[in-house]
Amino acid sequence: MKINENFLKIESSYLFSNIAKKVKAYSAANPEKEIIRLGIGDVTRPLAPACIEAMHKAVDEMANAETFQGYPPEYGQDFLLDAILENDYKARGIDLEKTEIFVSDGAKSDCGNIGDIFSLDNRVAVCDPVYPVYVDTNVMMGRAGDKTENGWSNIVYMPCTAENHFLPAIPENHVDIIYLCFPNNPTGMTATRAELQKWVDYANREGAVILFDSAYEAFITEENVPHSIYELDGAKQCAIEFRSFSKTAGFTGVRCGYTVVPHDLKFNGTELNAMWARRQATKFNGVSYITQCAAAACYTPEGKQQIRDIIAYYQKNAKTIYDGLKACGFTVYGAKNSPYVWLKTPDNMKSWDFFDLLLEKIQVVGTPGEGFGPSGEGYFRLTAFGSAENTEKAVARIKDYFGK
Ligand code: MLT
C-alpha cells in the first residue's frame, strides 16, 4: 500500500484551519479578551426569511409519504435549474440549457474537484495572491510539481499587486488551465468586461480552459464589471463558471452552489460537460431537497429583496472598514464590488507579524496576505461579513491603536 505522496509536499493544515488554531490558542490563554473575527469570509446574518420558509415547507414534505423525496436528481432539481437559468443568465442576455448547470454542495468543492477531468501534465496558471483551494488541490493531484522558494515549480503565478491594479498580465507563454476569480478573493478587486474579454480571447487562441470563480458576483456595484464570464464573446467555448449561494445568500453552513459547463466547451471533440456529468454522477449524490428549496427561494421576488438587503448590510460594513482604515492612513483596496478589504501592512510589516500584532494588541482577526501566495506578502485581508456592531468596534480599535 502506498499513500498519495503529494500530500506530504503540502503544509499539513489549510490556511483558515491554521488561523482558527492560532485564534483558539490565544483565546484559551486570554479568556477575558473579546476577539473580533474578520478573518475567514464566513457570513453572520441569518438566512433570508423566504429561504427559511421554503426549508420549513420542504421539511414538512419530507415528513409525508406522498411528498417524501429520496435521492435528489443528480444534477439538480428542475425548479432550481429553471430559476438559475432565468435569473442568473437569461436576465443578463445569456442563453444556457438546463443540462449545462450542475447543482452542488458549493463552489469550493467544485473548484477542487474539477481537476479530476484534466490531465496531470497540464500547465496551470493562477493569480497571486489566490484562493488557496485552486493551488492546494492541484498539489494533491500531483499537477503542481515541487515546492520552491517562489511557489510550486509547475504552477505559473500571475502576480496581482498594486503596481498592476491587481489584474494579472496575460501569460507570455502557453498555459492550459487558468483559474480566475472576479470579484477577486482575496484582493476584492475586479476585472472590467474589456479586461476579461482579453482572457477569453487568449484562452480561445491557445486552446486553454478558464475556470472562472464567480462566488462574489452579488457584490458587484459597477456597470462595466461582468457578473458572469458568459457575458463575453467566445466564453462558452473556453470557460467553466463556478457559482455559490454562500456569499450571495448566506449559505456557508447550508451548502449549495452550481457549476456551468457549456456544451460548446470541447477539447479534441470531447465535451467537458459529459465528463463532468460522469464525474458528478459517480462521486456526488446531489444536494438535499430541503437545501435546493431554500436556494430556489432566493429567486422569488421576496427572496431577491431580502437577499439584496443582506448584501447591502455587508456592503456597508465593507465601506466602514475601507473608510476607517483610509482615515488611519492605511493604503486600502477592494470593498467597492466585494466583501473583502485588502490593505497594505504598515511599514512593510510581514503579513503574519501584522496578524499577530492585531490579535495580541487589539484582538482583531484578519487573514495574512502571504497565506494567499507569495505576492500577498505585505498585505492583509479583512472581511465585511461580521456584524455591523463588531465591524464598527474593530475599526474603532484599529483607529485607537494606530493613533488616528
Ligand atoms: C475565504 O475566507 O476566503 C472564504 O471563506 C473561503 C471560502 O469561501 O471557502
- Helix orientation angle between 301-327 and 49-62, rounded to the nearest 10 degrees: 130
- What are 164-188's pLDDT values in tens digits? 999 999 999 999 999 999 999 999 9
Judge whether 168 and 181 are in contact, CB under 8 Å: no
Q: What percent of the chain has pLDDT over 70?
A: 100
Place of cell 457559482: 243
Spacing, Cα 186 to ligand 1 middle (Å): 9
Report the distance separating Cα 114 and Cα 326, nearest Å. Answer: 39
Phi, psi of 209 (to 5 degrees): -115, 140
pLDDT at 150: 85
Q: Is this model's pTM higher than 0.85 or not?
A: yes
Q: Which of 15, 44, 130, 131 for a ligand 1 pocket mutation test, highest count of atoms within 8 Å of Cβ?
A: 131
* Cα four-point dihedral sign 189, 200, 193, 259: negative
pLDDT at 404: 59
- What are 273-296's pLDDT values in tens digits? 999 999 999 999 999 999 999 999
Q: Whose CA is nearest to atom 6 of ligand 1?
A: 41
Judge whether 386 and 394 are in contact, CB under 8 Å: yes
Q: Whose CA is nearest to atom 1 of ligand 1?
A: 41
Query: Is the pLDDT assigned to residue 104 strictly greater than 80?
Result: yes
Grid cell at residue 173: 507563454
| Of the candidates 162, 168, 217, the residue with the CA atom closest to the CA atom of residue 195 | 168
Judge whether 103 and 287 are in contact, CB under 8 Å: yes
Q: Domains of the chain (ranges plus CATH)?
A: 5-46+304-402 (3.90.1150.10), 52-301 (3.40.640.10)
Query: Is the pLDDT assigned to residue 82 strictly greater than 70?
Result: yes
Q: Which atom of ligand 1 is nearest to the CA of 131?
A: 3
Peptide bond preceding 73: is omega within 30 degrees of 0, i.e. cis? no
C-alpha atoms less than 13 angstroms from C-alpha of 50 in its C-beta half-sphere: 19
Q: For the CA atoms of the chain, what is the radius of gyration?
A: 21
Average pLDDT over residues 4-23: 92
Phi, psi of 132 (to 5 degrees): -60, -20
